[in-house]
Amino acid sequence: MFKYSKPIILIVDDAPENIDILNNILKDDYIIKTALNGEQALKICEQKEKPNIILLDIVMPGELDGYGILKKLKTEPKTSLIPVIVITIKDTIEDECRALELGAIDFITRPFFPIVVKKRIKNIADIVKINKFKEDISQIISHDLKNPLSIINLELQNIDFNKYPLEIKNMAESIRNSVFRMNNLLLVWSALFKIETYNYEFKPKKIDIIKLLEDNIKHFYFYAELYNIKLNFIKKYDNFFIWADEMLLAPIISNLLKNAIEADSKNSVINVEISVNEKDKKISICFHNHKPIPKEIRENFFEKYSTSGKLNGMGIGTYSAKLFTEIMNGKIKMQSDDKEGTKITIEFDSAQ
């Protein structure tokens, strides 16, 4: 995970003498890779160990000039987050603006002062290092928490709590549900990280949506009771399969159930209804609670950090639900008014 080796800098320039100048300035602090044209540069960026920073000349012969290389780097998900510094003899405002619009993080004109170039590259390298550190910490926390949570869950399942007083049984159920919710948070965290850093590839599998819904409703039964809320599952099938990724689908269901419980009024019933359109074989799951969403967040309900009135709400649940649903080629919609309350419906392709 943690790699404290020198950052890798890729210098892209068709003039070897320009590469030599930058190499002499930077070689003591960085691992230097070089490319004389766009094709070589893109091949290097396809390698497993990608450059941390790219220094790119604009004036280059061939089919791909510097702007073309920059555009390809920034439109390709696996390279779009690599910082690109343009170093060029071009010095007009138009050239600088064009490079920045295409995604360059900085623009340096030749001739330059070596000490200034070193400082500017170091500043960007420090940001890259901090982001890499955060990425590694995120992955380590996610990995290291999953194992003990799984062990706690397994141990709880092996205990017959019917032998114990109701108070002990309720405490165990509370722990089990807390473990379930923490696991769900880790799933969301891990999936969001992969998606937002362009490291996720959707590989659909046949998943029994009925079973997944039943498992989630069972886990949230005790949590709903704390709010004096009943969960009502309306279904016409014992099982039904859709194309999805459980790593994304499970958090969607969990988040929508949790939000419905926390948003609804006490002593109410939340309906979870699954239906199938026989014409196009689309399957819909509707989560219906009887309290309307506040008007001030209805328009941006699925946006990141959109929340209202929840003390510890981060506004990630509905954002991730929409993101995950659409990645799996599904649809999600929200209807909310004072009369009917709130309905959130997700729709997926059948795998029957």
Residue predicted with more confidence, 195 or 235: 235
User: Which structural domains are found in the chain, ordered by start?
Assistant: 8-132 (3.40.50.2300), 136-349 (3.30.565.10)
| pLDDT tens digits along 112-122 | 999 999 999 99
Residue predicted with more confidence, 139 or 110: 110
Report whether pLDDT(100) > 90: yes
Report whether pLDDT(197) > 90: no
The alpha helices in the chain, defined as continuous H runs, are 16-26, 38-45, 66-75, 93-101, 114-157, 166-196, 209-226, 246-263, 295-298, 317-327
Secondary-structure breakdown of the chain: helix, strand, coil percentages, each rounded to the nearest 5: 45, 20, 35
Residue 4: pLDDT band (50, 70, 90) is very low
Q: Which residues of 272-305 are buried (b: 16+ CB within 10 A; e: fewer)?
A: bbbbeeeeeebbbbbbbbbebbeeebbeebbeee
pLDDT at 303: 86
| pLDDT tens digits along 164-190 | 887 787 777 777 777 777 777 777 777
Residue predicted with more confidence, 111 or 195: 111
Global pTM reads 0.62
71-93 mean pLDDT: 90
64: Cβ–Cβ under 8 A, 6 or more apart, which residues? Answer: 37, 38, 39, 72
pLDDT at 2: 35
| pLDDT tens digits along 251-289 | 899 889 988 988 887 788 999 999 988 788 789 999 999
pLDDT at 77: 80
217-224 mean pLDDT: 84
Percent of the chain beyond pLDDT 70?
91
**Highest mean pLDDT: which range of 100-104, 124-128, 130-134:** 100-104
Mean pLDDT of the chain: 85
φ and ψ of 106, to 5 deg = -155, 165
Report whether pLDDT(348) > 50: yes
Residue predicted with more confidence, 170 or 210: 210
